[in-house]
Structure 1
Amino acid sequence: MSLPFNVQRAQDRMGIEDPMADDPGLFHLSRTERLMAFGACFVIGLALSIIGSALVFTGHLAVFAVCYSLGNVVSLLGMCFLVGFKKHLKMAMAPVRLTAFIVYIAFLALTFVSAFAFDIAALCIVFAICQYCALAWYSASYIPYGRKIIKSTCGTFAKSI
C-alpha cells in the first residue's frame, strides 16, 4: 500500500523516508495492520503497566514487577510493528540509542531482582520509575528533537522548584 498522492509528493519533496516502506516486517502486514498492531500493543502495554502499578499498593510486589515490566516491553515491541523487527533492533543498536537501550534493560532486570530476590518494595518502585524514564529517553530518540524537549522541560521544572 502506498501513501496518498499528496503525502507521497510532500515526502518526495522533503526527502523524508517512509520507515514502513522498506521492510515488510516479520508478519508481512499492510500499513493499516501495522498501525493497528502498534496501537494494540500500546494499549495492552499501558493496561498492564496500570494494573501492575495498582497492585503494588496491595503488597503483590512480584506481580507488580512482572505486570509493569511486561507492559513496558509490550509497548516497546509495538514500535517494532511500525518499522519492522530487524530494523528496530538495528536502530536500537545505533550509537545514539545503545546506551539508553542498555540502561533500560538494566533497570528492567533490577526491577525483577529487587522484587524477587530482595523483596524490597521501595527499591522495586524506584527501579520501575527509572525503567520508565529510561524507556522514555530511549523512545524520545526516535522523535526529532525529542530528547531536547525532555531536557528543556526537565530544566524548566527544576528551575521552578
Structure 2
Amino acid sequence: MTIPVEVVDQEVVNDNDEQCFQGLSWSSRIQGYVLFTALGFFSSFMGWVSLGIGYYWKYSVLSTLGSLMSLASTFILMGPRAQLNYMFDEYRRTSSLLYISSLIITWIVAIAYKSALLCSLCGLLQYGCLIWYSLSYVPYGQEAVSGFIARLIFSR
C-alpha cells in the first residue's frame, strides 16, 4: 500500500522587503545562529563566574547579555519580524512576557540588592522562564511538563 504524499515547497523563513536579514543564505543564517548561541552561552557562563566571585553587576550584565544574544540568534535564523510574531502570538505571549520580565528582574535585583543568593535565585528563575518559553515551540511541550510536575506534586 502506498500513500500519496504531496510535497509543497514552503518558504522556511518569513522574510519580506522590510527584513534586515533577507540577503543571507540559509547556511549563513545557521552560522549566525550557532555563533550567537555560543556567544550567549559563553556570556551567561561568565556571568555565573562573576557572581561566584562577588561581581553582581557583572553577573547581571553578562547573564542578561547572554540571554539577549541567544534570543538574537533566533532573530537571525527566522528573521526579526517572524520571530517577534511567534513570540507574541496568542499561545506564546505569556511565556514571552515571563521570560522578558525575568530578564528585567534579574537586572534590578543584581544592581539594587547585590545579594548573591537573590541573584542566583533570579538567574534560576530566568533559566526556568527560558525553558518554559522554549517548550512553547515543542508541540504539547508545556502541557507535558506541567502534567508531569502535577503528578510529582499530587501523587501522594
If the length of structure 2 is used for normalisation, what is the TM-score? 0.82
Question: What's 2:73 paired with?
Answer: 78
Query: How far, CA to CA, are the matches of 1:38 and 1:120 in structure 2?
Result: 33
Structure 2: which 5+ runs fail to align?
Answer: none
**2: CA distance, partners of 1:80 / 1:45:** 13
Q: How does 1:85-100 map to 2 (within 5 A)?
A: 85-100=80-95
Partner of 1:23: 15
The CA distance in 2 between the partners of 1:139 and 1:96, in whole Å, is 12
Quote the Cα distance in structure 2 between the aligned partners of 1:156 and 1:95.
Answer: 27
Cα RMSD after superposing both structures: 2.4
Percentage of pairs with the same residue: 27
Indicate the SS of the match to 1:95.
Answer: coil
The one-letter code sitting in structure 1 at the alignment partner of 2:30 is: L
Give the Cα–Cα distance (whole angstroms) in 1 for the partners of residues 62 and 42 of structure 2: 9
Deviations 1:69-99 (A, max 9, x none): 1101110111111211011111111111111
The structure with more helix, counted as a fraction of residues: 1
> Following TM superposition, where does structure 1 have runs of at least 4 consecutive aligned residues deviating by more than 4 angstroms?
152-160
Offset of residue 153 of structure 1: 5.5
Aligned residues: 149
Name stretches of at least 5 consecutive residues in structure 1 with no aligned partner.
1-8
Q: Given the two structures, how large is their TM-score scaled by the length of structure 1?
A: 0.80
